[in-house]
Amino acid sequence: MSPFPLTLSALLGHWGAYVVYLIIGFAFGYVLEIAGFGNSKKLAAQFYFKDITVLKVMFSAIIVAMTLIFTASALGLLDYNLVWVNPTYLWPGILGGLIMGFGFIIGGFCPGTSMVAAATAKIDGVFFVLGVFFGIFLFGETVDKYAIFWNSSYMGRFTLPEWLGLPTGVVVLIVIFMAFFMFWGGEKLEVIFGGKDASTEPKWRYAAAGVLVLIGIFALVMGQPTVEDRWARLAPEKETVLANREVQIHPGELLSITADTSLQVVMLDVRSEADFNLFHILDAWNVPLSEIPTIIEELHLEPANTVFVTMSNDEEAATEAWKVLVAEAVPNVYILEGGINNWIATFGDNDLTKRFNAGAGEDQLCYIFDSALGERYAAAEPDAEEFELEYVPKVKLEIKRGPTSGGCG
């Protein structure tokens, strides 16, 4: 069984991971400082085409990180689902970019570089940071007045491959060559506007560019793992979990955790709309099996105390949904034992116990309903205090492994 993907906490423990975070933060600030990004004059020179160090450093970081991320994903060393990608709010994002751009030009810093300047006791950096804090305060006090615009044009985790409709590896190479073209053009501008001698540029950068292109080609050839690929890596372990009935929870336990105020329970009913409309558990979410992949992003954004429970008429479709969620690194996923049929058998009254004649087939609803009342049957919302059920509790809340919010340099 492959040991990947690994987490820092699994490798180094809780505090060991924080030491790594501290080292990364220090190294990031150090690199910004030695690159000259603590100097507002150097940063402002970018906008006069006299010194494009900012463009070179930032875009180099972008394309190197992008290439390594998708190469690691292609090799199964990294789960891209657990990488935070800022959600897209198109028009607020454009306006915010313009405001930050003007601030960058006028003040000579972006938020990250201003922190570096302030850390090295530069007066302009200190005042810029104070301005950032004032801006944060002002935004927090006024955001309610334009909240509708602030939350408008939401597009979720929208990336270039989705926008262009191209394979991820192709987009990686396009961005790499786009960056190289900008570097080349920027150096020409430095010669024209800054009088810079192009011959002083290091020659090793051509070799570095070649290596980056080769890695990008490798990522393209390998391709990004599909849900089936991810499941194949997990199957040796997870098939045993399924066989041992470790994740199939009794209807009584599902009823119990829905009443637990310390937990948030998301019930994913993967049956057809027709069966769902006939009967479903109160607050269940009807998501047909074929649509499960489309909600993965949304599920990853649920709070850390969320338990996901898949359900179908029996267990077949629910198990397939469970496999997709587990492959996509959604934590705390369980299956309703025996499905809706078992739920009704446990909590149904006489009106809901009329079985079909034998031979209903696998994962078929085994009850007849006089009307399609959905959650308006008593069995859809049973009172936990009315039932004394014996079962083995199986729900164990795992540490959330979904992506958490990131920041900007």
Q: For residue range 80-110, what is the model confidence (pLDDT) as tens digits? A: 888 888 889 999 999 999 999 999 999 999 8
Other CB atoms within 10 Å distance of the CB of residue 344: 24
Which helix H or strand E contains 114, and what residues bound it?
A: helix 111-119
Predicted local distance difference test score (pLDDT) of residue 1: 45
Closest CA to 40 of 118, 109, 123: 109
Closest CA to 268 of 319, 329, 341, 327: 319
pLDDT at 58: 87
Q: Which residues contact 364 (CB under 8 A, 6 or more apart)?
A: 313, 314
Cis peptide before 382 (omega within 30 of 0): no
Extents of the domains making up the chain = 8-227, 228-386
First to last CA, the chain: 38
The kind and range of the H/E element at 129 are helix 123-142
Separation between Cα atoms, residue 309 and residue 247, nearest integer Å: 9
This prediction has a pTM of 0.78
> What confidence score (pLDDT) does residue 342 get?
93
Q: How far apart are alpha carbons 405 and 82 in whole angstroms?
A: 11
Q: Could you give phi then psi for residue 367, rounded to 5 degrees?
A: -135, 150
- Report strand pairing: 88-89 vs 154-156: antiparallel
pLDDT, the chain, mean:
89
Burial category of 52 from C-beta neighbours within 10 Å (exposed 0-12, middle 13-18, buried 19 and up) = buried
- pLDDT for res 359: 46
Question: Which pLDDT score is estimated for 87?
Answer: 87
Q: Is 392 helix (H, G, I), strand (E, B) or coil?
A: coil
Is the CATH number of domain 228-386 3.40.250.10?
yes
Structure tokens at 34: 């030695």
Among 30, 42, 146, residue whose Cα is nearest residue 99:
146
Query: Mean pLDDT for each 10-residue chunk of the chain (409 residues)?
Result: 61 87 91 89 91 90 94 90 88 93 90 92 94 93 94 90 94 96 94 88 91 95 92 93 96 93 95 94 94 91 92 96 95 96 86 53 79 87 85 83 55
Q: Give the per-residue pLDDT at 378.
A: 86
